[in-house]
């Protein structure tokens, strides 16, 4: 029984020693082997490895691309207008020994690198205006008025200035981290958003409303101007149409009167005596139906057909 107990103790101690002697390196990790807090080796290839039990300790770092989310910071632009800029950066640990010596942990690295990114970004933002920082600019007409789309929103023209700023920031961060020898590689720096601070939001809305009112006033003025143009063209066309119609009616009336005179002349040429007789009857109807008294000589030509009806 005592022998079994001793064997059991030996097995337990052996398992503990074996556990302390073996360690696993994952494919996403890189490992430092420390002995009395001094680095004696590194492992970057995945697999199962041995170390001195109870003497060596293992420190693990991620060898994938890591991300730093910097705290949103207020940064003044070239025109002294503050912008709340939220940025992030990505980096990779290249030298785990140097990384442990300078930054020690990934938490410390996130804080320290976040400060460097924010500081470098603030320096570059101070040299640009807000349109360059945002990377877009409203399209305006020759009069300087913004051009609106179908939804009434300003048309935006993309610009490369934001990429230029980020390239400058990336180079600046790389230079500063290289000077301090952190043992890392900065992969990228990006801006997640760039907004005006909450304190200036009312003034922004006021400016937006004023801009909308100005645009609406301009549209109304342009509409009234277009209305006057359309009315002037319509009135002119109306006058032209009426004048043309009057001219055509006078021409048609003249042609009709000419045709009537021609027919009348043709009829007179065919029987002048009959025409004279009809004209006498019309004269009789005119003065005999009136209440006026007319005294005429019996020798008047008017009474020719009454005096001698069959003289012709």
* pLDDT, tens digit (0-9, with 9 covering 90-100), for 36-84: 878 888 888 888 877 778 777 888 888 888 898 888 888 888 878 788 8
Structure confidence at residue 90 as a pLDDT band (50, 70, 90)? very high
**Distance from C-alpha of 215 to C-alpha of 197, rounded to nearest angstrom:** 26
Q: List pLDDT tens digits, range 19-40.
A: 667 778 888 888 888 888 788 8
CA 239 to chain centre: 45
**Distance from C-alpha of 85 to C-alpha of 68, rounded to nearest angstrom:** 15
* Structural element, H or E, at residue 146: none
Q: Is 241 helix (H, G, I), strand (E, B) or coil?
A: helix
Is CATH 3.30.479.30 correct for 66-196? Answer: yes
Q: List pLDDT tens digits, range 236-282.
A: 999 999 999 989 998 998 888 888 888 877 777 777 767 777 777 77
Radius of gyration of the chain (CA): 54
How far lies 139's CA from each of 106, 155, 159, 221, 223, in Å? 45, 6, 11, 21, 22
Structure confidence at residue 230 as a pLDDT band (50, 70, 90)? very high
* CA pseudo-torsion sign 284, 285, 287, 291: positive
Q: Is 193 helix (H, G, I), strand (E, B) or coil?
A: strand
In the predicted structure, residue 304 carries a pLDDT above the cut 80: no
| 8 Å CB contact between 77 and 128 | yes
pLDDT at 212: 76
Sole residue written with tokens 């009312």: 202
Q: Which two tokens stand for residue 88?
A: 């992030």
Q: Is 83 helix (H, G, I), strand (E, B) or coil?
A: strand
pTM of the full predicted structure? 0.57
Phi, psi of 183 (to 5 degrees): 75, 25
In the predicted structure, residue 152 carries a pLDDT above the cut 60: no
pLDDT at 199: 63
| 8 Å CB contact between 40 and 59 | no
Q: What is the C-alpha end-to-end distance of the chain, expressed in Å? A: 180
Sole residue written with tokens 């057909």: 305
By CB neighbour count within 10 A (0-12 exposed, 13-18 middle, 19+ buried), where does 116 fall?
A: buried
By CB neighbour count within 10 A (0-12 exposed, 13-18 middle, 19+ buried), where does 177 fall?
A: buried
- Higher-pLDDT residue of 302 and 166 is 166
User: Smallest Cα–Cα separation from 90: which of 72, 113, 62, 107?
Assistant: 113
């Amino acid at each position: 029984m005592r022998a079994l107990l001793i064997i059991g103790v030996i097995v337990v101690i052996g398992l503990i020693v074996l556990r302390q002697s073996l360690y696993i390196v994952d494919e996403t990790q890189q490992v430092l082997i420390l002995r009395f807090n001094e680095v004696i080796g590194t492992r970057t290839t995945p697999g199962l490895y041995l170390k001195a039990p109870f003497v060596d300790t293992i420190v693990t770092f991620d060898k994938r691309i890591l991300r730093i989310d910097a705290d949103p910071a207020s940064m003044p632009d070239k025109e002294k207008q503050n912008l709340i800029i939220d940025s992030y950066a990505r980096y990779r640990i290249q030298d785990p020994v140097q990384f442990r010596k300078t930054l020690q942990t990934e938490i410390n690295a996130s804080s320290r690198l976040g400060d460097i990114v924010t500081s470098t970004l603030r320096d570059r933002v101070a040299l640009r205006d807000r349109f360059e920082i945002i990377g877009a600019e409203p399209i305006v007409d020759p009069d300087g008025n913004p051009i609106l789309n179908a939804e009434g929103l300003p048309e935006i023209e993309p610009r490369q200035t934001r990429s230029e700023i980020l390239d400058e920031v990336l180079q600046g961060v790389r230079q500063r981290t290289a000077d301090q020898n952190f043992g890392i590689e900065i992969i990228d720096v990006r801006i997640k958003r760039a907004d005006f601070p909450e304190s200036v939001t009312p003034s922004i809305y006021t400016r937006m409303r004023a801009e909308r009112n100005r645009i609406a006033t301009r549209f109304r003025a342009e509409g009234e101007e277009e209305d006057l143009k359309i009315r002037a063209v319509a009135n002119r066309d109306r006058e032209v149409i009426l004048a043309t119609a009057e001219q055509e009616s006078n021409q048609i009336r003249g042609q009709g009167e000419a045709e009537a005179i021609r027919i009348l002349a043709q009829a007179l040429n065919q029987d002048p005596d009959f025409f004279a007789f009809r004209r006498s009857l019309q004269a009789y109807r005119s003065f005999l139906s009136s209440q006026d008294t007319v005294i005429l000589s019996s020798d008047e030509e008017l009474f020719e057909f009454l005096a001698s009806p069959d003289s012709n």
